[in-house]
Structure 1
């Protein structure tokens, strides 16, 4: 899958899978701002400058998830200004949002853990281990559970 290979190259090149560090290395400004409670974040492109805006009221775990999702937009759809990532964005079927969610899933859930689980391991266990929503685990491992 091209997306998985692309993400692996980024992780290897910058020696991190942290979305905040990757954004910094890629000269993408990450800004926290007090947004409406239903808005988690968004990506903005303006005159060759890239910005990720994250709701400052989110938990650290959700800030990481939103940053990974918006980083997906910045790298996969660099000249598009994306609409706000709302609380229900993980359930959207829009192609651009699905690609950003899949980017976040591959970035935040490493492959090496896939085969270290027992047969009793559930998607809930994997989501808890990586502090990600179940929807991202389902996207990453579609067809395995």
Structure 2
């Protein structure tokens, strides 16, 4: 099942795109903590899922981090990326890319991105407005264009 499909199903099930509300509805505990230079991380202890968010981040950045870590909780519930990064040679790039894509699709529906594009904004301007990388904006556009073509 694609990341987009999982995001769409989750939004319908929870009737929201707010990552904090979704986490609460799924029984995932969100903790705001002083984490220094770490923005956030996902953990699972005794089958209880936690999202840890740096309390010193702006509210918007906390929202993005929550959505990213929610991506880990949904897409890779048993993976421990901090452990993998510190103790193995396993590349966590794929897991991080998928969590970033989950965050982008959750927080920025294609209609929002397409509205900016139709108003003449460039890929880089849209990325700046949405707080995303240009690659994530391009991913959103490509993902929804691919699905539009498939449903035609």
Q: If the TM-score is normalised by the length of the shorter chain, which range does it land in?
A: 0.7 to 0.9
Name the counterpart of 1:41. 40
Name the counterpart of 1:96. 95
Name the counterpart of 2:65. 66
- Bigger fraction of residues in strand: 1
- After TM superposition, give the deviation of residue 128 of structure 1 in Å: 4.5
- After TM superposition, give the deviation of residue 126 of structure 1 in Å: 2.4
Contact 1:72–1:104 under 8 Å retained in 2: yes
Deviations 1:70-119 (A, max 9, x none): 000001111122329xxxxxxx9711101101100110110122433326
Q: Which runs of 5+ in 2 are unaligned?
A: 84-90, 146-152
Structure scoring higher RCO (CA < 8 A, sep ≥ 6) equals 1
Q: Which runs of 5+ in 1 are unaligned?
A: 85-91
The alpha-carbon distance between structure 1 residues 142 and 39, as it changes in their structure 2 partners (threshold 3 A), is farther
The alpha-carbon distance between structure 1 residues 114 and 59, as it changes in their structure 2 partners (threshold 3 A), is closer
Contact 1:73–1:82 under 8 Å retained in 2: no
Deviations 1:37-64 (A, max 9, x none): x210000011100000000000001100
Which protein is bigger by CA-based radius of gyration?
A: 2
* Segments of 4+ moved more than 3 angstroms: 127-130, 141-144
- Bigger fraction of residues in helix: 2
Name the counterpart of 1:25. 25
The residue correspondences of 1:59-138 to structure 2 (distance < 5 A) are 59-83=58-82, 94-116=93-115, 117-118=117-118, 120-130=120-130, 132-135=131-134, 136-138=136-138
TM-score normalised by L of structure 1 = 0.82
Matched, 1:2 2:8: no
TM-score normalised by L of structure 2 = 0.78
The alpha-carbon distance between structure 1 residues 125 and 93, as it changes in their structure 2 partners (threshold 3 A), is farther
